């Protein structure tokens, strides 16, 4: 029975839905988009997806653990300021990178502690953080952009084009290191979630908090650690952004939290926690970016948000349907 | 009427009190649970069964009084400490994570690792299947999610999991609530099997007819106090039920 085979496939590989939709859109834009079906466009998509994707990996882990962080866009923005200010004070760039990473991990950790110890919903705790950090960026810069004076090999390593000096090909001109970091993080965190004790505890904490606690899982620690990992990924992405654009601007990362949550949900992560995968999130991010880029190639970029909105709702309906008919 | 025992008890509670704000959930309970026995902890809703259970399995300590387990005074503040000391608990409906596989649930909190922090999924699946099979339940695949299993199968897995970690005491909190009659009987057989393995059982329930055939002893609670502590041969199911309903101590059968 094909129906039964399909449901078996779906229970073993629940990301099949978003993968099929992704392939569908790739096919569609290849036919109707001008210059879409090219290596150059594919690289542009990967580079474009990399920053959102790296952050979405962390959002996905946290969502599986049963919590949200809607401050990622603001913290991402603030992290670029930390990097730039530190560097402009004369601190060497590798140290600036570590400071940014640590500061953002710390901010994530604080979000986690606020949520867990004060018992307030993470949506509210991080709504506060979202307003606070973007607001603080405005206060400290008085709304002006800050530019990075420093340049150097470390910045190239973080966010430059790894093939810049070795290739003349136009195709690879748009490649960025972020497009290499993103899959590395994806694989690392996929293994962490699926194959380690911590990952097991993340799924358990989000799946059934009391059962996990009763079984001896340190649910508080698991949640705070998930917030912290997300913070560190945001800090990394902010540093990579500075490495590319050599500055900090107050508008950076607006709507990023929503795009990240959208990518996770489209990729089959359950909003209530307990279910999801990095693979699904990566496919979700790629799908959003394919649509964004594809719409540009057909000259209709304004359709990006409405279309994303439709896809989110359709994806959730489909995922719910698939889950009910598993087995 | 008072049950007499010669061996040292596995658990002894001495004047245990528990307050939640103004509410006196336990008002000075003294009781002993003996090795090799199935002790039924019975009482109506609000009698204090669940508070007593939570003290036993380490969710919180008593406000006052002593809690002696396996010959030592204990002051646990979380279930992990109780689990490490050898108390396994099957919680009413908070035992398993539905969205996770049987194997992952079986070893939740006590995962088997291969080194480098990587989980040994193959071994966990094998051991989980064997543990469940030892209780007489056949499951095809330990990588199946718990959500697709029946209530009875879930209880079996939770009990098998508890036994796997070689407990000194097994606590079952309303293990047959929401189960069919057939499934309840299977669970009761598991509980007898546990006793045969020499592991003492505390079975919390308010279904006297269900537990009576397999229990060795009954402890009755009412409004935070103990109103009965009897061996099975000293009491009939009807006397137990009457005592629970009226809230008065068990009347002599004669």
Confidence band of A167 (pLDDT split at 50, 70, 90):
low
pTM metric for this prediction:
0.89
**Sign of torsion over alpha carbons A275, A278, A283, A284:** positive
- Is the model's pLDDT at A170 over the cut of 70? no
Cβ separation of A211 and B94 shorter than 8 Å? yes
Q: Which of A196, A207, A217 minimises the CB distance to B99?
A: A207
| Whether pLDDT at A226 is above 50 | yes
**Residue B173 resides in a domain:** yes
B80 and B200 part of one domain: yes
Question: Any idea what the CATH number is for the domain that residue B211 is in?
Answer: 3.40.50.300
Instruction: List the helix and strand counts (H, then E) for chain B.
Output: 8, 12
Measured between alpha carbons, how far is residue B146 from residues A6, A17, A207, B98, B156 in Å?
A: 21, 23, 11, 5, 12
Looking at B122, B142, B166, the residue that finishes a domain is B166
Q: Determine whether the interchain pair B109/A216 forms a contact, defined as Cβ–Cβ distance below 8 Å.
A: yes
Number of folded domains in chain A?
1
pLDDT for position B15 = 92
Residues A5 and A10: their CA atoms lie apart, in Å, by 9
The total domain count for chain B is 2
- The Cα of A214 is separated from the nearest Cα of chain B by a number of Å equal to 6
User: Both B153 and B178 in a single domain?
Assistant: no
**What pLDDT digit, counting tens, does each position of B73-99 carry?**
998 888 888 888 999 998 887 679 999
Q: Does residue B40 belong to any structural domain of this protein? A: yes
A 10 A CB-CB count for B165 gives 15
The minimal CB distance from A217 to the residues B91, B96, B108 is found for B108
What is d(CA A43, CA A175) in angstroms, rounded to the nearest whole number? 6
| Closest-approach residue (CA) in chain A for B57 | A214
**Residues 6+ away with beta carbon under 8 Å from B237:** B208, B209, B212
Instruction: Give Rg (Cα) of chain A.
Output: 20
Shared domain for B78 and B172, answered yes or no, is: yes
| Residue B91 falls inside a structural domain | no
Residues in chain B whose beta carbon is closer than 8 A to a beta carbon of chain A?
79-80, 83, 89, 91, 94-100, 104, 108-111, 113, 117-119, 121, 148
State the average pLDDT over residues B166-180.
Answer: 88
In a domain, B92, yes or no: no
ipTM: 0.85
* Cα–Cα distance for residue pair A241/A238, rounded to 1 Å: 5
Question: Same domain for B185 and B250?
Answer: yes
- For residue A135, which phi and psi values (nearest 5 degrees)? -65, -45
Question: Looking at the structure, do residues B253 and B139 belong to the same domain, yes or no?
Answer: no
Classified as helix, coil or strand, B24 is strand
Distance CA B208, CA B211 (A): 5
**Residue B165 scores a pLDDT above 90:** no
Residues of the domain holding A29 = 2-324
Q: Using the predicted structure, report yes or no on whether residue A2 has a pLDDT greater than 70.
A: no
**Taking CB atoms and an 8 Å cutoff, what residues of chain A touch B95?**
211, 214
pLDDT at B2 (0 to 100): 47
Return the structure tokens found at A65. 């653990």
Looking at the fold, whether B81 and B4 belong to one and the same domain comes out as yes
Residues B161 and B172 in one domain: no
Query: Which of A5-14, A146-155, A187-196 is most confident?
Result: A187-196
List, as one string, the DSSP characters of A262-317: HHHHHTT--TTSS---HHHHHHHHHHHHHHHHHHHHTT-GGGHHHHHHHHHHHHHH
Query: φ and ψ at A325, to 5 degrees?
Result: -105, 15
Task: Flag whether pLDDT at A321 surpasses 90.
Answer: no
Extract the tokens encoding A267.
């990729």
- Residues A298-304 have a mean pLDDT of 86
- pLDDT band, residue A31 (cuts 50/70/90): very high
pLDDT in tens, B7-32: 788 999 999 999 998 888 899 899 99
> Considering only CB atoms, which chain B residues are within 8 Å of A212?
97, 108-109
Quickly state the pLDDT bin for A97 (edges 50, 70, 90).
very high
Q: B39: part of which helix (H) or strand (E)?
A: strand B38-43
Q: Which of A197, A216, A274 is facing B117, going by the closest CB pair?
A: A197
- By a Cβ cutoff of 8 Å, what residues of chain A touch chain B? 191, 195-198, 200-201, 203-204, 207-208, 210-218, 270, 274-275, 326-327
Q: Residues B177-206: what's their mean pLDDT?
A: 88
Indicate the pLDDT class of residue B1, thresholds 50, 70 and 90: very low
Of the pLDDT bands very low, low, confident and very high (cuts 50, 70, 90), residue B178 is confident
Nearest-neighbour CA in chain A from B166: distance (Å): 15
- Inspect the interface and report whether the beta carbons of B119 and A196 lie closer than 8 Å: yes
Do residue A197 and residue B94 have CB atoms under 8 angstroms apart? no
Retrieve residue A298's tokens. 């057909």
pLDDT of B115 reads: 80
With respect to residue B144, please indicate whether it lies within any of the assigned structural domains.
yes
Contacts of A12 in chain B (CB under 8 A): none
Q: Which domain holds residue B236?
A: 1-86+167-254
A-interface mutation test, from B50, B91, B109, B115, most A Cβ less than 10 A away: B109
B46 and B80 part of one domain? yes
Inside any domain, residue B51 = yes
Mutation for testing the B interface, residue in A66, A187, A211 having most B CBs under 10 Å? A211
Among B96, B98, B111, beta carbon nearest to A197: B111
Which of the pair, B159 or A126, is modelled with greater confidence? Answer: A126
| B111·A200 Cβ contact <8 A | yes
Q: B207, B217, B196, B197: which is closest to B38 by C-alpha?
A: B217
Q: Are residues B179 and B236 in the same domain?
A: yes
Q: Check residues A32 and B4 and name the one with the higher pLDDT.
A: A32
Domain's final residue, options B150, B166, B182:
B166
Residue at a domain's end among B125, B140, B166 = B166
Residue A47, domain CATH: 1.10.3470
Q: Please, which pLDDT band fits residue B235 given cuts at 50, 70 and 90?
A: confident
Q: Are B38 and B57 in the same domain?
A: yes
User: What is the rounded average pLDDT for all residues in chain A?
Assistant: 91
Residue B21 to chain A, least CA–CA distance (Å) = 20
Q: Which of A230, A229, A243 is nearest to A80 (CA)?
A: A243
Which residue, among A206, A216, A271, would best test binding to B if mutated, counting the most B CBs under 10 Å from its CB?
A: A216
pLDDT at B254 over 50: no
Same-domain pairing of B171 and B240: yes
Q: B93: distance to nearest CA of chain A, Å?
A: 8
Same domain, B161 and B176: no
């Amino acid at each position: 029975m094909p129906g039964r085979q399909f449901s078996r496939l779906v229970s073993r590989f629940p990301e099949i839905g978003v993968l099929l939709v992704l392939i569908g859109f790739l096919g569609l834009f290849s036919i109707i988009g001008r210059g879409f079906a090219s290596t150059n466009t594919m690289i542009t998509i990967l580079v474009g997806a990399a920053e959102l994707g790296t952050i979405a990996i962390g959002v996905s882990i946290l969502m599986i653990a049963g919590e949200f962080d809607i401050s990622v866009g603001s913290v991402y923005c603030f992290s670029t300021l930390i990097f730039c200010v530190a560097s402009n004070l004369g601190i060497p760039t590798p140290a600036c990178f570590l400071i940014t990473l640590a500061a953002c991990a710390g901010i994530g950790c604080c979000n986690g502690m606020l949520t867990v110890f004060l018992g307030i919903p993470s949506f509210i705790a991080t709504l506060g953080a979202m307003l606070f950090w973007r607001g603080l960026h405005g206060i400290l810069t008085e709304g002006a952009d800050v530019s990075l004076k420093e340049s150097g090999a470390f910045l190239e390593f973080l966010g430059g084009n790894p093939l810049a000096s070795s290739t003349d090909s136009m195709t690879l001109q748009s490649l960025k290191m972020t497009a290499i970091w993103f899959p590395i993080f994806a694989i690392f965190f996929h293994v962490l979630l699926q194959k380690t004790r911590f990952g097991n505890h993340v799924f358990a904490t989000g799946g059934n908090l009391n059962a996990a606690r009763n079984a001896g899982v340190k649910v508080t620690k698991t949640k705070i650690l998930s917030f912290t990992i997300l913070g560190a990924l945001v800090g990394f992405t902010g540093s990579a952004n500075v490495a590319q654009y050599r500055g900090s601007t107050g508008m950076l990362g607006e709507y990023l939290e929503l795009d990240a949550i959208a990518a996770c949900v489209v990729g089959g992560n359950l909003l209530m926690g307990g279910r999801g995968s990095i693979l699904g999130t990566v496919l979700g991010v790629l799908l959003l970016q394919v649509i964004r880029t594809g719409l540009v190639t057909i000259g209709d970029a304004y359709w990006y948000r409405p279309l994303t909105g439709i896809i989110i709702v359709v994806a959730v309906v489909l995922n719910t349907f698939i889950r009910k008919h598993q087995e | 009427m008072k049950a007499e025992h010669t061996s040292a008890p596995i658990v002894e509670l001495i004047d245990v009190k528990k307050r939640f704000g103004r509410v006196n959930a336990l008002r000075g309970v003294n009781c002993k649970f003996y090795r090799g026995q199935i002790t039924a902890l019975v009482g109506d809703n609000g009698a204090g069964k669940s508070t007593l259970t939570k003290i036993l399995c380490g969710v919180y300590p008593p406000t006052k009084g002593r809690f002696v387990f396996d010959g030592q005074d204990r002051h646990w503040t979380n279930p992990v400490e109780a689990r490490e000391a050898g108390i396994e608990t099957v919680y009413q409906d908070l035992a398993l994570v539905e969205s996770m596989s049987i194997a992952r649930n079986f070893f939740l909190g006590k995962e088997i690792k291969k080194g480098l922090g990587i989980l040994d999924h193959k071994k966990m699946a094998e051991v989980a299947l064997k543990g469940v099979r030892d209780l007489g339940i056949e499951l095809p695949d330990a990588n199946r999610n718990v959500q697709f299993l029946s209530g009875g199968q879930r209880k079996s897995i939770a009990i098998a999991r508890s036994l796997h970690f070689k407990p000194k005491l097994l606590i079952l909190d309303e293990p047959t609530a929401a189960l069919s009659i057939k499934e309840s009987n299977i669970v009761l057989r598991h509980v007898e099997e546990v006793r045969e393995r020499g592991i003492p059982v505390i079975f919390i329930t308010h279904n006297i007819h269900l537990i009576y055939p397999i229990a060795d002893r009954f402890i009755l609670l009412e409004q935070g106090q103990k109103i009965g502590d009897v061996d099975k041969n000293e009491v009939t199911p009807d006397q137990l039920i009457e005592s629970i309903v009226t809230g008065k101590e068990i009347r002599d059968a004669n």
